[in-house]
Structure 1
Amino acid sequence: MTGDPGLQPERTRLAWRRTLLALTGVTVLLVRLAFADGRAGATVAGLAVLGWLGVLAVTWRRATGTGTRRAQRWSFPLTALAAAGFALLGFVLVVRGLR
């Protein structure tokens, strides 16, 4: 099945926007959970927001098509690392809440 090659960049931009939207939702949930955990939770919330800002900077350039080749090369690994970091932060919050 062959599609219109002119649509590929648009599909890619939309995929990066969906990724950013999903990570925004995860960040909001992490911050909400973290504020119920006191000082340690504030640290987790800060890390989540910093990770989200890093992903925002990279995905915005990908979604708008303004990024350089070098920046585009790092977008996927940075986003994957941020998603793994969010999962780890969420796990820490859940484990702390179980005590």
Structure 2
Amino acid sequence: MTTGRRDGSPDARDPGLQPERTRLAWRRTTLSCTVAALLAVRTALHGGATAAGITVCALCLLLWLGFLRVAHGRVRSLSVPDRPRLLGPRQATAATLCTVALAVCAAALLF
């Protein structure tokens, strides 16, 4: 029976490039979220600043900071040489809610 491991033991792990690909995916997603937040700020301030525009703009920035915190923690956890810890349900929920709420805020700015 072959284990597919480098040293043959079931505990040894060769993750290959998977952690690097995941780390890059989190960075790309963070960059996309940053662009969306900046476009929301630009849209909110275009044609004069209103109270509603500034409120939505501030909310977009807070959501962006929340997503940035989750993403940075995930990127840091993937940089360990051993097996990285799994993404917890709280972090996954926070990242999902920040992303969806940012999309809703951006859509609200368009209408």
TM-score interval, normalised by the smaller of the two chains: 0.7 to 0.9
Alpha carbons 1:27, 1:52 under 8 Å: kept? yes
CA RMSD of aligned residues (A): 2.3
| Counterpart Cα distance in 1 of 2:103 and 2:66 | 16
Gaps of 5+ in 2: 1-13, 79-83
Q: What's the CA shift for 1:9?
A: 1.0
Aligned structure 1 segments of 4 or more residues deviating by more than 3 angstroms:
none
Output the TM-score relative to the length of structure 1: 0.79
Q: Is 2:31 the counterpart of 1:21? A: yes
1:1-99 equivalences under 5 Å are 5-36=15-46, 37-65=49-77, 72-73=87-88, 74-95=90-111
| Counterpart Cα distance in 2 of 1:61 and 1:29 | 25
Q: What's the CA shift for 1:69?
A: 5.1
Alignment size in residue pairs: 91
Residue identity (%): 42
Partner of 2:7: none
In terms of Rg, which structure is larger? 2
Output the TM-score relative to the length of structure 2: 0.71
Structure with a larger share of its residues in helix = 1
